[in-house]
Structure 1
Amino acid sequence: MASYQRSDARAWAREHLVGCSAVTIPSYSADLSRLNQRGIRHDIELAKQLGYTYTLLCAEVAITPEENAQFTSLAREAGGKDLGLFFHAAFGTLAENIQAVKLAERAGADIVLLSYPPQFWPTTEQEIYDYTKAFCDATDLAVMLFPIPLWGFERVHPAGMSVELVRRLLKDCPNIVAIKSEQGFPLPAGICEMYHHFRDEVVISCPIEGDAIPLMSLMKLQFSGTSNTQWMSDYYPRAFELARQGEWEAAMALYWQVNPARSANGAAAQSYAGGTGVLNRTMWKYQDWLAGFNGGPLRAPAMRIPDRFMKPLRQGLVASGLPVTDDPDSQFMVGRFPC
């Protein structure tokens, strides 16, 4: 259960939604029939050790609502009370997302990242409003709104979610406490616009570390998430905290140090999945495995990660002076804690 009342969710977020969020992709048994509890616990403990204050429990990996609740419970046990847990509202329908969030709330989730199903095909802002409000009304958890071109809402408004729509949702959904601002991605227009209009009402998050650190020379950001930055080990929590405390030049020194890894990640993501609206979670899990996380197989349908992307990602970490495993890539699908 949440540690705050629904009516106090925004005050809670202003005080507690601080730092950086990792993304934890669940680990499965070798036959994919069940969760790999040891692998999950390892990944949660390592994210916390690296300095992350939150993690998103990724649900875009063929997991059931009941398994997701078990995933949440395992993460709560491994992370303790001081690691915040994001429920990922990424199930197939509004009804299933509501079912899953109620289970996750009881299992220990702290906050929601609100996604939209692939078959949700709105043609008006009212439809986007109705879905969002129905979900927010169904949970006592704080909710992070997530405008991004992945949803295809640009058929309704060029920004996907207009300022007017966001303002209406903030007025009518008091448990919306933050905005993961990616309208117009990969351009920074969304974060700039949301910060300009709503920074005094809710927490504004720039999840893209390549944008967040430079923008913190101009913006007071308290939280960044959720994205796959943990594959660069403790770099991002360190750099973000330096920038947040006013040591921006020191943060930028770290920023440029890891630019080879950042560039390799950008090239792989664009070449492999650019324009599809699908994130390659297998690639994310491989990147994490390089940094010491569990790795292991994912359930179908899952994208592949071929050698031509594995090698540059590994070398990007080497060139950045970041931790990277010596284990051969053949061990990735086995995982560090096979089950």
Structure 2
Amino acid sequence: MPVYHRDDAKAWAHANMHGVANILQPSFSNDLKLLNEAAIRHDVRMCKKLGFWGTLAVSECGTTSEEYIRFVEIACDEAGPDFHIIYHASFDTVEETARVGKACADAGATTMLLSYPPTWYPNSEEELYEYNVKMMDQTGLATVLFAVHLWNFGRIHPAEMSPRLIARLADHPLAVAYKCEGGGNTNAPHLQTLQMCGDKLLVSDPRDGNAPGHVAWFGMQWMGTSCFQYFGGNIPKYFKLMHEGKWDEAMEIFWKIHTARTTRTAVTQTYMPGAHFIHRQAWKYMEWLNGFNGGRLRLPTMRLTDATCKRLSDALIKCGIIDEVPGTMNDFYNGRFPM
């Protein structure tokens, strides 16, 4: 069960959500029939080793609902009390999302990142409001609200979820943070949300290239969630230095990894605008380069090409994040803990 009471969730978040949250993807046996517990535990340990605050247990990698619950149970058990597992509220129906969320709360997840069933088609802000409130009420987890272009909610408001809607949701006792990624290349959603309800929500931008301004101008204390482990431990390291006022050291790291940052963005642009789907297998490769298990994911997943892998690995080598690619593509697909 959560470590806070419903009415104390905001205070808990302000006191405890300091740092960077990355993502944790499930690993499977090589025949894709079973979860690979040893690999999952290894990846949780890697997240902790690299200095992350916590991690999002990704639910969009082909697990069944029951497998996902077991995945979260394993992750929470390995995490211990000082590392946070975030429930990824992304399932086919409202009812299933709520059921799994309750089970993940029981397993030890402390936080929920809200998502939406891909076939759900709301037509108004009121429908969005009711969905978010229902999910928070039914799971009882401190919640990170989330706006991004993937939702197709731009037809309701250009920011995907309007600042007015976020301000209404911010009054809910379990709404503690906002992953603000809608509205395209503008900081208007961040500014307006901060003006309207910045005292009630931890406003976060997961695009780490914006971190210096957000930390300096409004003290962004928590940043998540994304495949930040592609950069090794550099992002939590520079984020911490920024908050300590050590800007020269922080910006040295920030610029050191910039080639990898721009490469990752360029690779993302080859699939995200049309597919409206994250290339999770590419994210598996990104983290494998930095010591994570790697391994195969189930359908639906995108195909990973040699050209994409070379771009991603060359960027890390150029930045000095890794010295060399840690093996062959077969090594990557088999994972560090083959089963």
TM-score of the superposition, structure 2-length normalised? 0.96
Please state whether the residue corresponding to 2:194 is helix, strand or coil: helix
1:108 aligns with: 108
Cα distance in 1 for residues equivalent to 2:326 and 2:97:
40
Q: Distance in 1 between matches of 2:247 and 2:274?
A: 33
Q: Who is 1:163 aligned against?
A: 163
- Structure 1 distance, partners of 2:15, 2:40, is 28
What SS is found at the alignment partner of 2:22?
A: strand
CA displacement at 1:51 relative to structure 2: 0.3
Aligned to 1:86: 86
In structure 2, give the amino acid aligned to 1:41: R
Runs of 4+ that moved beyond 6 A: none
Indicate if the aligned counterparts of 2:145 and 2:179 stay in contact, CA closer than 8 A: yes
| Matching of residue 273 in structure 1 with residue 272 in structure 2 | yes
Larger mean Cα displacement after TM superposition, 246-255 or 234-243: 246-255
Conserved in 2, the CA contact under 8 Å of 1:221 and 1:244?
A: no
Question: Whole-Å Cα distance in 2 between the matches of residues 318 and 219 of structure 1?
Answer: 34
Query: What residue in structure 2 maps to residue 243 of structure 1?
Result: 242
Are residue 29 (structure 1) and residue 53 (structure 2) matched?
A: no
TM-score (norm 1): 0.96
| Match status 1:177 vs 2:176 | yes
Kept in 2: contact 1:110–1:142 (CA 8 A): yes
- Residue 185 of structure 1: CA displacement? 3.2
Comparing 25-34 and 321-330, the one that deviates more: 321-330
Which amino acid letter does the alignment assign opposite residue 2 of structure 1?
A: P
Larger mean CA deviation between 238-247 and 212-221 belongs to 212-221
Q: Would you say the 8 A contact 2:62–2:300 is kept in 1?
A: yes
Is residue 334 of structure 2 the alignment partner of residue 322 of structure 1? no
SS at match of 1:47: helix
Mapped to 1, the partners of 2:160 and 2:326 lie a distance apart of: 43
Query: What SS does the aligned partner of 1:322 have?
Result: coil
In the TM superposition, residue 186 of structure 1 has moved relative to its aligned partner by: 4.0
Taking the aligned partners of 1:254 and 1:141, their CA distance within structure 2 comes to 34
- 2:203 is equivalent to residue 204 of structure 1: yes
State whether residues 22 and 56 of structure 2, in contact with CA within 8 Å, keep that contact through their aligned partners in structure 1. yes
Residue 92 (structure 2) pairs with residue 131 (structure 1): no
Contact kept, 8 Å, 1:38 with 1:337, in 2: the verdict is yes
Asked whether the 8 Å contact 2:264–2:312 carries over to 1, the reply is yes
Q: How does 1:1-339 map to 2 (within 5 A)?
A: 1-171=1-171, 173-323=172-322, 325-339=325-339
Please tell me the residue identity of whatever aligns with 1:46: M
Contact 1:65 1:103 in 2 (8 A): no
Count of aligned positions? 338
Separation of aligned partners in 2, 1:74 and 1:280: 24
CA contact (8 A) 1:183 1:191 kept: no
| Cα pair 1:65 1:99 within 8 Å, conserved | no
Q: Is the 8 A contact 1:147 1:183 kept in 2?
A: yes
CA distance in 2, matches of 1:225, 1:45: 18
Structure 2: which amino acid aligns with 1:191? Answer: H
Return 177-186 or 251-260, whichever deviates more.
177-186
Unmatched segments (≥5 aa) in structure 1? none
- Calculate percent identity across the aligned residue pairs: 38
* Larger displacement relative to structure 2 (306-315 or 70-79): 70-79
